[in-house]
Chain A
């Protein structure tokens, strides 16, 4: 055991002497996490990066409803989300979209209000003809689909409320007319109340209860997803770096020297594996500590975090050993390790949440320690504790054991740890 530890600690010390490797193992993930904090709006206090959506409003209607829509976009409620500006010329407003200076233009045509609320003096008699519908145009910037979609959703909701008011008042009125309970002298006055309901609070015939998972226990921090995602990605580099040292020692002649000492092959191999494991644990540990200290990332249950780190590093170490077993030179391990790191980072969800991928990619992602590790870290960030980590931790341990077993078979077959 003592020999195992000595070999492992020796490899760990060597890692800390390699400035190029440290740059990639520690500095790169730290800077990428920092960048992720900026782009997601985490450091500017927003829950998502989307805010101040530039939207141009061309209100040619100037009626009650056109003005109400313009007021809505200028309201306090949308002050953070929207950055509206007014224009009187639809063509120049459309050109601003084409030159990428705004996300959407809303053109409220002349007569929009009257197409919904009949003008004063219109009668609701038998010869009443509903006005021709006039459509609001939402002219969107194709390179800002998310922002444009939000603008459209706000306009849709506004229209929905207007329709709700219209639908709500109209049956009362028509039914009363049919029952002969409306005084013909008061038709205008009765009709006038028709659309007042637009300003009433929304209908509550069906109540919606929202349940945001874990929101009561802990507010989810976006960096609690991305910080471990990036750390686990670079963990894949570290384990291949560790594996590379086995081949480098053989090429450098230090491995045969170890073998002629009274040290068993299993001890040498075990020591090297322990070294890789130490490197991974130290790397992820430092990154977690740094992101807690500098970015105030909330990782959740400490015991769960420790167990998950150990399991994730074990799973990743299995991959490191397998890559080493297949390679012939240290350079091959380095190249393959970088390739595996990059592919696993995408497949495992380091940069894009797995829920955005088709099911077959989600299934393939299960071969990566990143996917399982992220599953566990997200569970912890949402308030979960050690008992909630049974599935990811078990999967990672099995992954590590199986891959290590395959690697040992390949090592023996290739005679890697023989004189």
Chain B
């Protein structure tokens, strides 16, 4: 036990001998979490898609369209001048711009010449969703005019109007009626977020916090391979052969030291999530510890196996960052898994990052408890057993 502790302590001293290690250990993970989460509003913020609206018509019709957009649950209308909108669009700072040109009024709607314009960045999901919102808004405004026009046509078919003025009056009365019916329309759809035992509010930053935590903890754990390679290169592993220490003692000391450091790093990042980002990581401490511990074991085991395949510390360092980034991207740590094609969602289940992420989201978003994260924890333990077995079997002192 003493030997194991001594080896773990020695590794910790070596790792933190350079001050830059602190950057990778805590400063960069927090910076990244802050930056990535900065692009995502919290649950309390208005997270609707920003829609730039250019109102050159300045008529009651354009006001009605804008009012409909302001009521939208999908977009947040921001009124700007055309020049500003086009500049933001050209610089790709805005994904969609809605232009209501001069001349959009009741008359233009009546004679069918009303035409509005939507500028969309190509292949942009936000622009596609905004398009649906704009279509809904203009259809709602159009529908009143169309209804009034329809009423005039129906009436004219039954009994022609005596004068044009009568016809116009009938149209205006019908329009008022249609607008009043539309305004009185009750809500017919209610959206309820999946309720959880503790009524957790959805906060998209939970995904970012979990993803960055896993990414920044897995990369140094994969870097255990560099520790082995470095000791092998320097010949210090060979020296161990001359001491009465077993292979298992060395491996256990190295791995347990890094796992403990990873757990400290995880708790610091979880603390940042709880105190700085007000995320609900502290709700279920025991299941959180289980999922973090099994994740750390799985990553450390992968690092151990990786260390038996490579020769130099330089290779190990590059490969651990490469695998860390790859696993993070494919495991849903950078982009939510729900955005992946279904086949890829299934395929990435071979990665420990996917299961670690799922476990974290079970706790952070779905309000799960110990029972809910047991499948993920079980799979992560399975990864740990598999990779440790391969790593130990392949481990050589030189």
> CB of A283 within 8 A of chain B?
no
Assess the B120–A44 pair: CB atoms within 8 A.
Answer: no
- Which A212-270 residues sit within 8 Å CB-CB of chain B? 212-215, 219-222
Assess the B38–A357 pair: CB atoms within 8 A.
Answer: yes
Question: Within the complex, which residue of B119, B139, B181, B343 is in contact with A211, where a contact is CB–CB below 8 Å?
Answer: B119
Interface string of A165-209 (1 = CB under 8 A from B): 011111110111001010000000000000001000011111111
Closest Cβ of chain A: how far from B188's Cβ, in Å? 5
Residues of chain A with a CB closer than 8 A to B143's CB: 163-164, 167-168, 203, 205
Question: Within the complex, which residue of B28, B38, B116, B129 is in contact with A361, where a contact is CB–CB below 8 Å?
Answer: B38
Assess the A342–B93 pair: CB atoms within 8 A.
Answer: no
> CB of B182 within 8 A of chain A?
yes
Interface string of A15-54 (1 = CB under 8 A from B): 0001111011001100110011011110010111111100
Question: Within the complex, which residue of B119, B132, B173, B338 is in contact with A143, where a contact is CB–CB below 8 Å?
Answer: B338
Residues of chain B with a CB closer than 8 A to A213's CB: 89, 119-122
Residues of chain B with a CB closer than 8 A to A97's CB: 194
> CB of A301 within 8 A of chain B?
no
Assembled-state Cα–Cα distance A342/B215 (Å): 12
> CB of A77 within 8 A of chain B?
no
Assembled-state Cα–Cα distance A19/B319 (Å): 11
Besides the contacts A133-B186, A140-B191, what 12 more A-B pairs have beta carbons closer than 8 Å? A32-B326, A44-B344, A137-B190, A153-B129, A163-B188, A170-B177, A175-B173, A181-B159, A206-B141, A210-B120, A354-B93, A361-B39
Assess the B123–A39 pair: CB atoms within 8 A.
Answer: no
Residues of chain B with a CB closer than 8 A to A134's CB: 188
Assembled-state Cα–Cα distance A35/B333 (Å): 13
Residues of chain B with a CB closer than 8 A to A219's CB: 122-123
Assess the B326–A35 pair: CB atoms within 8 A.
Answer: yes
> CB of B148 within 8 A of chain A?
yes
> CB of A331 within 8 A of chain B?
yes
Interface string of A123-146 (1 = CB under 8 A from B): 000000000011111111111111
> CB of B200 within 8 A of chain A?
yes
> CB of B81 within 8 A of chain A?
no
> CB of B285 within 8 A of chain A?
no
Question: Within the complex, which residue of A35, A138, A168, A181 is in contact with B147, where a contact is CB–CB below 8 Å?
Answer: A168
Closest Cβ of chain A: how far from B318's Cβ, in Å? 4
Residues of chain A with a CB closer than 8 A to B347's CB: 38
> CB of B112 within 8 A of chain A?
yes
Assess the A346–B148 pair: CB atoms within 8 A.
Answer: no
Question: Within the complex, which residue of B20, B158, B326 is in contact with A335, where a contact is CB–CB below 8 Å?
Answer: B20
Assess the B20–A160 pair: CB atoms within 8 A.
Answer: no
Assess the A159–B188 pair: CB atoms within 8 A.
Answer: yes
Assess the A31–B151 pair: CB atoms within 8 A.
Answer: no
- Which B128-166 residues sit within 8 Å CB-CB of chain A? 129, 131-136, 138-151, 154-155, 158-159
Assess the B74–A133 pair: CB atoms within 8 A.
Answer: no
Q: Given A204-B112, A211-B118, A339–B93 Cβ distance below 8 Å?
A: no
Assess the A208–B155 pair: CB atoms within 8 A.
Answer: no
Assembled-state Cα–Cα distance A181/B23 (Å): 81
> CB of A347 within 8 A of chain B?
yes
Number of interface residues of B (CB under 8 A): 113
* CB closest residue in chain B, given A343: B31
Assess the B334–A205 pair: CB atoms within 8 A.
Answer: no
Assess the B122–A212 pair: CB atoms within 8 A.
Answer: yes
Question: Within the complex, which residue of B93, B189, B326, B336 is in contact with A156, where a contact is CB–CB below 8 Å?
Answer: B189
Number of interface residues of A (CB under 8 A): 114
- Which B268-327 residues sit within 8 Å CB-CB of chain A? 312, 314-315, 317-319, 321-322, 325-326
Q: Which A positions have Cβ atoms within 8 angstroms of B?
A: 18-21, 23-24, 27-28, 31-32, 35-36, 38-41, 44, 46-52, 94, 97-98, 100, 103, 116, 133-150, 152-153, 155-157, 159-164, 166-172, 174-176, 179, 181, 197, 202-215, 219-222, 331-332, 335-336, 338-339, 342-343, 346-347, 351-359, 361-362, 375, 378, 382
> CB of B114 within 8 A of chain A?
yes
Assembled-state Cα–Cα distance A356/B269 (Å): 23
> CB of B244 within 8 A of chain A?
no
Q: Given A171-B147, A220-B123, A342-B32, A203–B334 Cβ distance below 8 Å?
A: no
Assembled-state Cα–Cα distance A28/B318 (Å): 8
Assess the B200–A142 pair: CB atoms within 8 A.
Answer: yes
* CB closest residue in chain B, given A170: B181
Assembled-state Cα–Cα distance A141/B150 (Å): 41
Q: Given A146-B339, A160-B140, A181–B158 Cβ distance below 8 Å?
A: yes
Assembled-state Cα–Cα distance A390/B110 (Å): 46
> CB of B85 within 8 A of chain A?
no
Assess the B94–A355 pair: CB atoms within 8 A.
Answer: yes
> CB of B187 within 8 A of chain A?
yes
Assembled-state Cα–Cα distance A395/B379 (Å): 50
* CB closest residue in chain B, given A225: B123
Closest Cβ of chain A: how far from B264's Cβ, in Å? 21
* CB closest residue in chain B, given A38: B344
Assembled-state Cα–Cα distance A258/B155 (Å): 98
Q: Given A141-B194, A160-B139, A211-B117, A147–B338 Cβ distance below 8 Å?
A: yes
Assembled-state Cα–Cα distance A23/B181 (Å): 67
A-B contact pairs, 15 of them (CB 8 A): A28-B325, A47-B123, A139-B192, A140-B194, A142-B196, A153-B129, A156-B189, A171-B150, A171-B181, A181-B155, A181-B158, A222-B123, A335-B18, A335-B23, A356-B39
Question: Within the complex, which residue of B121, B139, B194 is in contact with A164, where a contact is CB–CB below 8 Å?
Answer: B139
Assembled-state Cα–Cα distance A335/B27 (Å): 14
Question: Within the complex, which residue of B93, B194, B322 is in contact with A23, where a contact is CB–CB below 8 Å?
Answer: B322
Assess the A206–B114 pair: CB atoms within 8 A.
Answer: yes
Residues of chain B with a CB closer than 8 A to A156's CB: 73, 136, 189
Assess the A48–B339 pair: CB atoms within 8 A.
Answer: yes
